[in-house]
């Protein structure tokens, strides 16, 4: 048994905090619910706050993704419990640990009290609330299912956070390998190769062409390193400017879908979002055409957004969903087939949600595969690069034995 600290609200919206004894977090949350309270957070008691990591105290001004996940969870819990939206936002603002987040929530609440919608209030803070987040909330308000959408957003944000943590942990070792490999190459080019070049000149040996190329690269990088950095900086700035333009962003989205392995993963992720949200809207009574128009703003990839727009046009002409999906030529065959079955059986909402579940699982499997492939790929690239440099130097060294004395 352990002690857990809980934060909750009563059915009247009054804040409550306290401690409860339980064997785990789930049992502690159940105990709080038995008290007639709405549990917002349940954490193990770590004692004095001063003992918590200093990093948590140093990041009070920066709003992180975990902060946004906690906010979404709290707002979803309160709205689902039947509290009015303005009261729910007031409570989440009071519970916010960081002043910056509290200010954002208060600004959203101010816009709602001024007659605006929750989506409009969130859209005024694009750094904290993504386009996907805002459009899903807008969809929930339009369909009268804000509680359902907030719950789905919570699941999505939690899943995305777990995915980011998994990818970050998986990339630690490959990143370490890449850093060591690049450091080794830098040492070879800045210290080893120039010394060998001096030895070859003193001996008067004929230097192989591959070694001459390495020496030229080493001399250039040592003498004009500032030019290399300037060129890289200019390339980054130009690339960002191109990607910010409508045509550049569309071109990049098109290229992303064509990247081997990664492109199919991105497509599956977008299809899961599209199908899950559309199915939820249709199940909640939103007309098909209006639902597709709402979902069009959820897609992060512009190429797929154009395809969804064509689906909306097709639905308006009475062509349904499966036909325009096939004509778009982007959607996986399984997704199109399941949607067609849903239209034929009158269970389009159920089949769309099933499509979302299938491709969400596929995305996780694909990410695991990509991270498992990435590590040996880094080792192979670094090995070939360093091995090529060393082999070229050894060839030059062996060529000294051919000199006639």
The pLDDT of residue 48 is 45
Instruction: Read off the tokens for 356.
Output: 């979302």
Q: What is the C-alpha to C-alpha distance for residues 278 and 286, in angstroms, rounded to an integer? A: 9
| pLDDT band with cut points at 50, 70 and 90 for residue 337 | very high
The pLDDT of residue 52 is 45
The pLDDT of residue 49 is 46
Q: What is the pLDDT of residues 354-388, one digit of tens each?
A: 998 888 888 878 877 877 777 788 788 878 888 88
- CB-based contact 150:171 (threshold 8 Å): no
**Integer CA distances (angstroms), 178 to 175, 219, 395, in order:** 5, 23, 26
What would the mean pLDDT of 12-33 be, rounded to a whole number? Answer: 72
What would the mean pLDDT of 298-323 be, rounded to a whole number? Answer: 84
For residue 3, what are the β-bridge partners?
21
271 pLDDT higher than 60: yes
Q: What is the pLDDT of residues 54-110, one digit of tens each?
A: 444 444 457 888 888 888 888 888 888 888 888 888 888 888 878 888 899 999 999
The mean pLDDT value of the chain amounts to 79
The pLDDT of residue 380 is 84
The pLDDT of residue 401 is 60
Q: Answer whether 0.85 is exceeded by the pTM.
A: no
What would the mean pLDDT of 346-361 be, rounded to a whole number? Answer: 88
Residues 6+ away with beta carbon under 8 Å from 151: 76, 80
The pLDDT of residue 247 is 83
Instruction: Of 29-33, 122-126, 182-186, 317-321, give the lowest mean pLDDT range.
Output: 29-33
The pLDDT of residue 274 is 86
The pLDDT of residue 155 is 78
Instruction: Read off the tokens for 73.
Output: 């969870």
Percent of the chain's residues with pLDDT above 70: 87
Q: What is the C-alpha to C-alpha distance for residues 175 and 184, in angstroms, rounded to an integer? A: 14
Backbone angles phi, psi at 393, to 5 degrees: -70, -40
40 pLDDT higher than 50: yes
The pLDDT of residue 402 is 58
The pLDDT of residue 341 is 92
317 pLDDT higher than 50: yes
Say which residue, 10 or 54, is predicted with more confidence.
10
| pLDDT band with cut points at 50, 70 and 90 for residue 160 | low
The pLDDT of residue 57 is 46
């Amino acid at each position: 048994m352990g002690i857990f600290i809980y934060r909750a609200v009563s059915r009247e919206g009054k804040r409550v905090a306290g401690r409860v004894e339980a064997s785990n977090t789930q049992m502690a949350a159940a105990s709080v619910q038995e008290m007639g309270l709405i549990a917002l957070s349940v954490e193990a008691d770590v004692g004095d706050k001063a003992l918590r990591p200093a990093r948590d105290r140093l990041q009070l001004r920066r709003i992180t993704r975990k902060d946004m996940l906690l906010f979404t969870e709290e707002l979803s819990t309160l709205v689902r419990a039947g509290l009015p939206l303005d009261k729910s936002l007031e409570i989440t603002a009071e519970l916010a640990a960081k002043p910056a987040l509290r200010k954002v929530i208060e600004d959203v609440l101010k816009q709602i009290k001024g007659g605006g919608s929750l989506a409009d209030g969130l859209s005024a803070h694009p750094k904290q609330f993504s386009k996907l987040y805002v459009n899903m909330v807008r969809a929930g308000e339009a369909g009268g299912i804000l509680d359902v959408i907030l719950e789905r957003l919570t699941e999505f944000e939690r899943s995305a956070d777990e995915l980011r943590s998994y990818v970050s942990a998986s990339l630690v070792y490959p990143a370490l390998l890449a850093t060591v490999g690049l450091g080794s190459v830098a040492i070879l080019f800045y210290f080893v190769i120039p010394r060998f070049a001096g030895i070859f000149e003193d001996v008067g040996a004929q230097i192989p062409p591959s070694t001459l190329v390495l020496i030229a690269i080493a001399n250039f990088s040592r003498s004009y390193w500032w030019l290399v950095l300037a060129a890289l900086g200019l390339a980054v700035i130009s690339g960002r400017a191109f990607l910010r333009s409508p045509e550049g962003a569309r071109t990049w989205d098109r290229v992303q879908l064509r990247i081997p392995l990664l492109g199919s993963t991105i497509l599956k992720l977008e299809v899961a979002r599209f199908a899950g949200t559309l199915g939820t809207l249709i199940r909640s009574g939103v007309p098909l055409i209006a639902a597709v128009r709402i979902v069009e703003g959820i897609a992060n990839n512009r190429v797929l957004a154009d395809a969804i727009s064509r689906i909306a046009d097709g639905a308006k002409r009475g062509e349904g969903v499966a036909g325009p999906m096939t004509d778009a030529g982007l959607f996986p065959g399984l997704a199109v087939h399941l949607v067609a079955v849903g239209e034929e059986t009158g269970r389009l909402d159920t089949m769309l949600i099933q499509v979302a579940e299938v491709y969400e699982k596929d995305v996780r499997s694909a990410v695991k595969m990509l991270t498992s492939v990435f590590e040996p790929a880094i080792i192979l690239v670094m090995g070939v690069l360093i091995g090529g440099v060393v082999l070229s130097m050894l060839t030059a060294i062996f060529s000294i034995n051919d000199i006639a004395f």
